[in-house]
Amino acid sequence: MQSFQHGEFTDFIQWHDMDGNIINASDGGVIYAEGKYHWYGMALRPLGEGTDGTGGEVTDTGVVMYASEDLLNWQYEGVILPCTDIEGHPLCAPMRFERSKIIYNEKTKKYVFWCHYVKCPGDHGVADGTAEAGVAVCDRVNGTYTWVGTHRPIDRDGAVKDMTLFKDADGTAYLIYDRREVDAEKGRAIHIVKLTEDYLSPTDTYRKIDEAAVREAPAVFYHDGYYYMITSGVTGWAMNRAKYFRTKDLMSEWEDMGDPCVGDGADITYASQTTYVFKVEGEDRFIHMAERHNRENFLHCAYVWLPIEFGENGTLCLKYLKEWK
Ligand code: GAL
């Protein structure tokens, strides 16, 4: 592939790996490690095998990874966190690893994986085992990750929904997640929780980001004095307007900055939902990864990757490009 291809908002352009297969890495992220970019996510199960496209999609396979040097051409590297067929095992298929994210821990020299874990059967409720943060770990970026277990940070009254990880320059890492109170009347907001030094558990240090109430799909990154968080609204797989927040201190107030998108399609984030933001290695450039969900056939969702533009006074802008290099 020579350039990123997104087409019209109504297009679902397929992105193939170097073996010619459709890239199937739902809701994941990209990590630069061992000299390459690694793109990972949940491998969705094909339509017609018990999925109806509502309330989240499932996997029989697990989490997969692809590697690339140019961000356009991706080599399939295989399953890094496999499902099993052992009844009662936490990874017994079918199940879900939603919003998978991986960061590297310099102290323990391990790659640490977190996701919104949903066992099956179990839909997007608040029941035990269906709204947890799941953790896995590996010595190699593309090795087979070992399942560590699940957490509900802060307390069990808060279900874990969409989430992301953020590693700060000093090596401190955070879980940022949509906490939905089990008692629905108590509401829902993005929370930020500091992780332990090994990144395997949440600590008691957290902040409820009241400014980001009823938001999901958070992606957090740092640029030139500000921490930014881009989020979506809460409308399931239906597209909605993005909104971003910024702060100079992760554990203090976040400023509501409005919609980073402009022009046609801004009201639906150009028919996509944020997945992750990563920095281009060695450059002061960031890419916003999003997914154009295809409820008719989740294997034909499209990945919409756009460059983030930094404006004056710490503002962000995400312009739609049908094609770009
Ligand atoms: C989306 C959410 C996804 C998934 C989906 C299920 O809004 O961002 O991660 O949970 O809802 O309906």
Give me ligand 1 centre to Cα 55, in Å.
7
Cβ neighbors of 55 (< 8 A, separation 6 or more) are 123, 124, 236
Percentage of the chain lying above the pLDDT 90 cut: 88
Cβ neighbors of 88 (< 8 A, separation 6 or more) are none
In whole angstroms, give the CA distance from residue 224 to residue 129.
39
In whole angstroms, give the CA distance from residue 149 to residue 144.
15
The pTM assigned to this predicted structure is 0.97
Handedness of CA 121, 123, 129, 135 (dihedral sign): positive
**Residue-wise pLDDT tens digits, 93-140:** 989 999 999 999 999 999 999 999 998 776 678 999 999 999 999 999
Q: What is the pLDDT of residue 48?
A: 59
Phi (first) and psi of residue 141, to 5 degrees: -60, -40
Domain architecture of the chain: domains with CATH: 4-324 (2.115.10.20)
Pocket test for ligand 1, best of 52, 99, 268 (most atoms within 8 A of CB): 99
Q: What is the pLDDT of residue 55?
A: 46
Kindly state the tokens that stand for 238.
Answer: 């239906």
**Residue-wise pLDDT tens digits, 276-318:** 999 999 999 999 999 999 888 888 899 999 999 999 999 999 9
Which whole number is the average pLDDT over 213-239?
97
Name residue 280's amino acid: V
Contact of 17 with 24, CB cutoff 8 Å:
no
Q: What is the pLDDT of residue 120?
A: 78
Give me ligand 1 centre to Cα 236, in Å.
5
Does the C-beta of 217 come closer than 6 Å to ligand 1?
yes
Whether 66 shows a pLDDT value over 90: the answer reads yes
Q: What is the pLDDT of residue 1?
A: 86
Look-up of token digits 């140019």: 70
Kindly state the tokens that stand for 65.
Answer: 């990874």
Does the C-beta of 162 come closer than 6 Å to ligand 1?
yes
Whether 49 shows a pLDDT value over 90: the answer reads no
Name the residue with the closest Cα to ligand 1, atom 7.
236
Buried b (16+ CB within 10 A) or exposed e, 269-295: bbbbbbbbbbbeeeeeebbbbbbbbee
Which whole number is the average pLDDT over 16-29?
96
In whole angstroms, give the CA distance from residue 83 to residue 149.
14
Contact of 58 with 304, CB cutoff 8 Å:
no
Alpha carbon of residue 164 to chain centroid: 6
Name residue 164's amino acid: T
**Residue-wise pLDDT tens digits, 259-273:** 999 999 999 999 999
**Residue-wise pLDDT tens digits, 130-182:** 999 999 999 999 999 999 999 999 999 999 999 999 999 999 999 999 999 99
Name the residue with the closest Cα to ligand 1, atom 9.
162
* Closest ligand 1 atom, residue 216 Cα: 8
pLDDT confidence band for 54 (50 / 70 / 90): very low
Contacts of 122-128 spanning 24+ positions with Cβ under 8 A = 123/55, 123/56, 124/55, 124/56, 124/161, 125/159, 126/159, 126/180, 126/182, 128/156
Q: Tell me the pLDDT of the chain averaged across its residues.
A: 95
Does the C-beta of 124 come closer than 6 Å to ligand 1?
yes
Q: What is the pLDDT of residue 147?
A: 98
Does the C-beta of 76 come closer than 6 Å to ligand 1?
no
Short-list 50, 130, 144, CA closest to 97: 130
pLDDT confidence band for 58 (50 / 70 / 90): confident
In whole angstroms, give the CA distance from residue 59 to residue 95.
6
Give me ligand 1 centre to Cα 125, in Å.
12
